[in-house]
Amino acid sequence: MKELQKRIEKAKLPEHALKAALKELKRLKSLPVQFPEHSVARNYLETLLDLPWSSSTTDTLDLQAARLTLEADHYGLQPVKKRVLEYLAVCQLTQGLKGPILCLVGAPGVGKTSIGRSVAKTLCRKFHRISLGGVCDQSDIRGHRRTYIGSLPGRIMAGLRTVGVRNPVFLLDEVDKLTRGGVHGDPAAALLEVLDPEQNSSFVDHYVGLPFDLSKILFIATANSVATIPAALLDRMEVLEVQGYTSEEKVEIAVRHLLPKQLKQHGLTPDQLTIPPSTLATIANNYTREAGVRGLERNIGAICRSVAVKVAENRGESGKTTPTVVTETMLGDILGPQKFEHEVSERLTRPGVAVGLAWTGMGGEILFIEASRMPGSGELTLTGQLGDVMKESAQIAFNWLRSNASRYGVQCDVPKETDLHIHFPAGAIGKDGPSAGVAIAVALVSLYSRRCVRSDTAMTGEITLRGLVLPVGGIKEKLLAAQRAGIRHVVLPKRNEKDLVELPVNVKNQLEVSLVSTVEEALTKTFDGGLAPISKL
């Protein structure tokens, strides 16, 4: 009891917390040690005293040092670095800015979590990660009331208790994967009070039961997609998109960060193992197909383990180690056969096939569309586990072709004599969205005109019944996917021209981009020699 009394005197508690602590201490003294309520009251009092009511760290507001730290820790990601430096600059001028609520959105492996660590390092603040994936109980955020046996504070207050300061950097990881609609309340709704700058200065955890100021915390949320984040929660955050990496950027990241990290983890030195940039590029292109670098790091780790066996064996036999330089020809023995090949040109050697571009939470992907006709009764069949929006896109593309068939001199006889089948491989993966409209229309025109689509071309864009091409999202990720797949020519909606600004220069140099406003313009760009209508409307 004397120890708790001393801790209360030294804790520098605010008035309302001091009053509650003294009241609980008085109650604790009146309870026999063998009573269950004694341990409950003691745990509560210790939690109250462990919270950082007044302790905090001093921010480092040196912009030049912050810029150097961010550049050293991460390659690229300029929009994110720019936003962090803006925050530091305003803090330096005002000394009173509340922490922004940043939400980093991007594919897995692009560095969202490590950005949070770098921000904390830049500010000289403590860092704490809170994983929200699968959280289904609002009590995980707000805490459990003390009337329950084994009650605990929520993850926010528990995190503050762990770091011991009131102004840490909190990373709310996988905020888009909160489970909603359960019987234990909505954790996403509980986060609203935590992230609202107008309310979080007096946040009340159910277990603590006292208002606590969360406004000094710098919250950084991460997500793979904003589509599953509730609108009210999304409104309280500033979304920063973390784009995928080009092949050249992946190689640079591997040389600067991944390879040294894996060498250290496996007890190797650069003198014992060297992986040239050309080999790293082969790994990135032929053994992984991702927006981030997580798969690339796993493959580098596999190479390190293979070399570590040789180093250990040689050291045991002769005490000497022979330097190993991993060439591209050695990858097959270490990593096995290549997992991905540039198959686009081989699959576009017959009419009725086109390549679309898709975007998912994992990054950009190429999407094949195959159309075939056969004798039947005029049915339109769509396969490939399609969503309603994608089915409607296929119907729109087909009806556009029916209304314009005579202009292109094709016989579109599906209504009476033949069946039309449109398939989207791979069939086990669900697909949805309107951006395949242009590719479906091109595949159908290719089928009925008996002309093959250009083997180096991919396309994306929503279409209307009048043949207009509308803008779509995820342009950078789609173009990076096209580059990874060996595509050299991409057809995009004209209204997406603004999205090309954020594309790296080296990708622009490798891709020929055609901007179109109508399906008619798209057909002139997707066939060798073009495909112009033989008559006007």
* pLDDT given at position 47: 86
Cα distance between residue 174 and residue 196, in whole Å = 19
Asked whether 448 and 410 are in contact (CB, 8 A), the reply is: yes
How would CATH label the architecture of 247-335?
A: Orthogonal Bundle (1.10)
pLDDT of 339 reads 83
Tell me which CATH code domain 63-241 carries: 3.40.50.300
CATH class of 344-526: alpha beta
pLDDT, residue 221, reads 92
Quick check: 370 and 422 in contact, CB under 8 A?
A: yes
* Cα gap 17→52, rounded to integer Å: 11
Catalytic residue, candidates 247, 393, 435, 449: 435
Q: Is the peptide bond before 439 cis (omega within 30 degrees of 0)?
A: no
- In degrees and rounded to multiples of 5, residue 128 shows phi and psi of -145, 130
Query: In the prediction, which pLDDT does 536 show?
Result: 60
The residue from 431, 476, 478, 525 that is catalytic is 478
CATH of domain 2-50: 1.20.5
**How would you write the pLDDT of the chain (537 residues) with one tens digit per residue?**
677 777 777 778 888 888 888 888 888 788 777 777 788 888 888 888 888 988 888 877 778 888 888 888 888 788 888 888 887 788 778 766 666 788 998 888 888 888 888 888 888 889 999 998 888 888 888 888 887 777 889 899 999 999 999 989 999 999 988 877 666 778 888 888 888 888 888 899 998 889 998 988 889 999 988 888 888 888 888 888 888 888 888 999 999 999 999 999 999 988 889 999 999 999 988 888 788 899 999 999 999 999 999 888 877 555 566 788 999 999 989 999 888 766 565 566 788 999 999 887 667 888 889 999 888 777 888 988 888 999 999 999 988 888 887 777 776 655 567 788 999 987 778 788 889 999 999 999 998 888 889 888 999 999 999 999 999 988 888 888 888 788 899 999 999 999 888 787 888 888 999 999 999 999 999 988 777 666 665
The yes-or-no answer on residue 478 being catalytic is yes
Distance, in Å, from the CA atom of 457 to the CA atom of 526, rounded to the nearest integer, reads 7
User: Is 39 in the active site?
Assistant: no
Residue extents of the structural domains in the chain: 2-50, 63-241, 247-335, 344-526
How far out from the chain centre does Cα 7 lie? 44
